[in-house]
């Protein structure tokens, strides 16, 4: 491939939302965190070695009876969202939190799948997390 020598239409696409094929046998719920387990398919948020946060589901994606990619799910790539965080405290604000499951974040997990930064303490069990800096 050579460098440009003339104008090029790079076909910009708004990246606030992105569609992903859903992993076989996976069910993703609206409002839940969505991860890529390293295979290029969307799955409900959970931590595991090499997993990456894709974003937060805009809609349900039920591929429980399908093969890889039979169903697609739309995912938010930006914004802040309310998630459960056991033992949440005001001191969590501005700290990086990690995916525990599709609706729960923690200060640490075994494989440290980044969920985002706490931007607001809400209750002793909920925080608002901004995902922009960690989504893939």
Q: Based on the number of CB atoms within 10 Å of its own CB, is 130 exposed (0-12), middle (13-18) or buried (19 or more)?
A: middle
The Cβ of residue 96 has, within 10 Å, a number of other Cβ atoms equal to 17
Distance from the Cα of residue 35 to its chain's centroid: 5
pLDDT digits (tens, 9 = 90+) for 71-126: 999 999 999 999 999 999 999 999 999 999 999 999 987 889 999 999 999 999 99
Which of 125, 50, 100 has its CA nearest to residue 116?
100
pTM of the model: 0.91
pLDDT digits (tens, 9 = 90+) for 16-34: 999 999 999 999 999 999 9
Question: Which H or E run contains 36?
Answer: strand 33-36
- The structure tokens listed for 92 are 């969590």
- Phi, psi dihedral angles at 92 (to 5 degrees): -75, -20
């Amino acid at each position: 491939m050579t460098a440009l020598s003339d104008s090029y239409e790079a076909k910009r696409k708004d990246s606030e939302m992105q569609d992903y094929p859903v992993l076989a046998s996976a069910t993703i719920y609206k409002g839940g965190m969505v991860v890529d387990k390293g295979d290029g398919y969307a799955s409900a948020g959970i931590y595991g070695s090499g997993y990456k946060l894709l974003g937060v589901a805009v809609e349900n994606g039920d591929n429980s009876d399908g093969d890889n990619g039979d169903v697609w799910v739309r995912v938010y790539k930006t914004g802040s969202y309310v998630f459960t965080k056991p033992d949440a405290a005001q001191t969590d604000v501005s700290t990086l939190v990690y995916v525990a499951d599709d609706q729960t974040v923690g200060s640490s997990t075994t494989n440290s799948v980044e969920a985002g930064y706490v931007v607001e303490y809400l209750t002793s069990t909920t925080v608002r997390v901004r995902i922009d800096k960690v989504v893939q």
